[in-house]
């Protein structure tokens, strides 16, 4: 059995995170990083706890889009299907070959691109360059490699003639547009910063900042230790002391840019330092080492942590859809 996996993640200049590979040892992870020519300030190291069967070949990494064209990791999963439940429609899923090496990945990518080029002519698909222009290089590459691994790109095959598909799509769009507008107006996210009261939190909370939508519920507020326990237990959550550091995303990770300018890990020349990246990470997430944690058995991802040093509670619930 494999107890856990080392995950190598590339950090882009704009702060985006892209998982590159999964490894059973630190040495194999370091060898890939060295072969790829990645410096220490260009990567982030992570772990994915198992256990995993010894014959496990791949895992899947979910990437969700946030704050315009940036990506953050949504988690690691054993199946492709499970991955998509945690990724927004604008995100992507990448397949991570366990204990791969850089040369093997490049050879596999070359093989996938050559096959796609042949199918693109046969099925009149968009060129790879058009996919990059439309989706971005990382998403286009990840989608291609995922489909190459899963079905040798057969899922790209058109189900019917292109002109008929276009007419069907246009008709469906015309019919669905009024419903889409109605759905959007009734499902638009709500957010605010540093308000003293909201209808869905008790009166004893204050300084509330939040972002709430159908898929994301993230908020933080001031509250005493006793009232935090009462609130959590009243919502069916079990409260206990933190046994290890816990990281949750904050409302700032989801706010529109015109609502609050987030800390940007980018300098004028386009480079990013470790200090800038850590400052940016601290703005969009919270890490608590000593405190309380409350979790709901009914809603697997609903988690709240309490920091006794600041008398502040942080709540995160990323709802599968």
Tens digit of pLDDT at every position of the chain (321 positions): 899 999 999 998 888 899 999 999 999 999 999 999 999 999 999 999 989 999 999 999 998 887 667 888 889 999 988 888 888 768 899 999 999 999 999 999 999 899 888 888 888 888 888 888 888 888 888 888 888 888 877 776 776 555 456 656 766 777 666 766 655 556 678 899 999 999 999 999 999 999 998 888 999 999 999 999 999 999 889 999 998 889 898 998 888 765 444 445 555 555 566 677 777 777 888 989 899 999 987 656 789 999 999 999 999 998 764
pLDDT of residue 181: 61
Domain boundaries, the chain: 2-156, 160-187, 190-318
C-alpha separations of 294 from 44, 62, 230, 301 in Å: 28, 25, 11, 11
Two tokens, residue 142: 């990840």
For 59, counting Cβ atoms within 10 Å of its Cβ (0-12 exposed, 13-18 middle, 19+ buried), the class is: buried
pLDDT of residue 155: 73
Q: What is the spatial distance between Cα 282 and Cα 94, in angstroms, rounded to a whole number?
A: 26
Per-residue buried b or exposed e for 159-173, using 16+ beta carbons within 10 Å of the residue's own CB: eeeeeeeeeeeeeee
* Exposure of 244 in the CB half-sphere (CA atoms within 13 A): 0
pLDDT of residue 299: 55
Residues in the chain: 321
3-class secondary structure, 150: helix
| Whether the Cβ atoms of residue 33 and residue 8 lie closer than 8 Å to each other | yes
What DSSP state is assigned to residue 28? Answer: H
pLDDT of residue 321: 46
* Of the candidates 39, 32, 48, 44, the residue with the CA atom closest to the CA atom of residue 100: 32
User: Tokens 């990506």 — which residue?
Assistant: 71
Helix (H) or strand (E) holding 239: strand 237-241
pLDDT of residue 70: 82
Radius of gyration of the chain (CA): 22
pLDDT of residue 239: 93
* Of the candidates 115, 117, 113, 96, the residue with the CA atom closest to the CA atom of residue 22: 96
Q: How many CB atoms lie within 10 A of CB 214?
A: 12
Q: Model's pTM, two decimal places?
A: 0.50
| Bridge partners, 49 (sequence order) | 4
Q: What is the spatial distance between Cα 138 and Cα 191, in angstroms, rounded to a whole number?
A: 30
């Amino acid at each position: 059995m494999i107890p856990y996996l080392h995950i190598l993640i590339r950090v882009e200049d704009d702060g985006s995170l892209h998982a590159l590979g999964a490894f059973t040892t630190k040495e194999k992870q370091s060898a890939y990083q060295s072969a790829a020519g990645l410096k220490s300030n260009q990567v982030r190291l992570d772990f994915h706890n198992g256990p995993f069967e010894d014959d496990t070949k791949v895992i899947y990494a979910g990437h969700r889009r946030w704050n315009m064209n940036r990506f953050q990791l949504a988690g690691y999963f054993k199946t492709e299907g499970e991955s998509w439940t945690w990724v927004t429609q604008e995100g992507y899923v990448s397949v991570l070959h366990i204990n791969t090496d850089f040369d093997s990945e490049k050879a596999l990518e070359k093989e996938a691109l050559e096959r796609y080029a042949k199918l693109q002519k046969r099925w009149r698909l968009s060129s790879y360059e058009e996919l990059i222009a439309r989706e971005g290089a990382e998403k286009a590459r990840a989608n291609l490699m995922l489909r190459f691994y899963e079905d040798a790109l057969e899922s790209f095959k058109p189900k019917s003639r292109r002109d008929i598909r276009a007419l069907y799509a246009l008709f469906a769009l015309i019919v669905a547009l009024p419903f889409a507008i109605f759905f959007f107006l009734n499902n638009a996210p709500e957010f605010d910063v540093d308000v003293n009261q909201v209808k869905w939190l008790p009166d004893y909370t204050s300084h509330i900042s939040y972002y709430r939508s159908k898929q994301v519920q993230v908020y933080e507020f001031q509250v005493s230790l006793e009232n935090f326990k009462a609130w959590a237990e009243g919502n069916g959550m079990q409260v206990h002391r933190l046994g290890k550091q816990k990281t949750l995303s904050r409302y700032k990770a989801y706010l529109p840019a015109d609502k609050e300018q987030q800390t940007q890990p980018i300098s004028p020349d386009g480079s990013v330092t470790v200090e800038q990246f850590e400052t940016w990470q601290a703005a969009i997430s919270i890490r608590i080492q000593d405190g309380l944690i409350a979790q709901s058995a009914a809603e697997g991802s609903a988690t709240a942590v309490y920091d006794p040093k600041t008398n502040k509670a942080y709540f995160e619930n990323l709802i599968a859809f």
